[in-house]
Amino acid sequence: MSQTIENAVALVTGANRGIGREFVAELLRRGARKIYLGARDPASLAGFVALDPTRLVPLKLDVTDAADVAEAATVANDVTLLINNAGFAGGQGVISAPDLSIARQEMDVNYFGVLSLSKAFAPVLAKVSESSIVNVLSFLSLVTLPSAGTYSASKAAGLAASRSIRAELLAQGTRVVVTMPVQVETDMGRSLPEPRLQPLDVVSETLDAVEAGVEEVFPGELTRTVAAAFAADPKGVQAHMSTRLPA
């Protein structure tokens, strides 16, 4: 199953910066009919929405707030493409962290946020013949970086949930695509080691996958190189990553 981006109605969470902002721009270029821009502070979207006010619709959406999620599913009840992009990285280890507050926040956004949006929008997506959910994860869904240990755990949980959601929504015809880049040149990604991918590379290849019917994407040459090494020697790649300890 695949989905055409042209004339799609999309919702992008975390749309006010980084990869989310690039998703919106690329969806516009590919002819999406309408794009809901989800952000905790809709005022942060004002300048962006002004670029194309007929197609861009700001939406107050904190993915950790049940009331916001429910309201979004009511307002954006014509969505055919849900992009769960909002994310949070605290940049800490597990044992070395002073407490569990950052870990809980990462799970709230990166795991429970994906669950709650997917659950809320599943009935909306069921109404159309072509629909997809895109979950923006990380290569750290597969391997653990000790200096971002709790973030890695939250993204691994997001991958497991995505695979379950894919199976559960198969009968209604909704595809679930996960994209797992290595570090990306964004505000959040700058805490991770270089080299870093450009957001446009991640977005472009992810939307290509939606249109081609590909379910799991390793965007960018750097990601594919790491993924090939991991496929050949997963323990070796994890051992290398394990040398990067928390500061």
- pLDDT at position 198 is 84
Domain encompassing residue 228 = 9-241
**Is 12 within 8 Å of 85 (Cβ atoms)?**
yes
Residue 95 counted as domain residue: yes
Q: Confidence band (pLDDT; 50, 70, 90) for 190?
A: low
Query: What CATH number is attached to the domain comprising 175?
Result: 3.40.50.720
| 111 noted as active-site residue | no
Taking a C-beta distance cutoff of 8 angstroms, is the pair 9, 77 a contact? no
**What domain count does the chain have?**
1
Q: Residue 4: inside a domain, yes or no?
A: no
pLDDT digits (tens, 9 = 90+) for 160-189: 999 999 999 999 999 999 999 987 655 555
Report pLDDT digits (tens) over 105-130: 999 999 999 999 999 999 999 999 99
**pLDDT of 192:** 55
Structure tokens at 189: 């990604």
Domain assignment present for residue 2? The answer is: no
Question: What is the CA angle 46-29-198, rounded to 5?
Answer: 80
State the Cα–Cα distance between residues 188 and 198, nearest whole angstrom.
13
- Across the range 36-62, mean pLDDT stands at 94
For residue 112, tell me if it sits in a domain: yes
Query: Which is the catalytic residue, given 151, 189, 192, 241?
Result: 151
pLDDT of 194: 60
The pTM score is 0.93
Helix (H, G, I), strand (E, B) or coil at 211: helix
Q: Which of 102, 127, 13 is nearest to 65 (CA)?
A: 13
What does pLDDT average to over the chain? 93
Give the integer Cα–Cα distance in Å for 75 and 191.
35
In a domain, 222, yes or no: yes
User: Which of the given ranges, 58-67, 187-196, 197-206, has the highest pLDDT on average?
Assistant: 58-67
pLDDT score at 2: 83
Token pair recorded at residue 139: 């290569």
Q: Is residue 246 part of a domain?
A: no
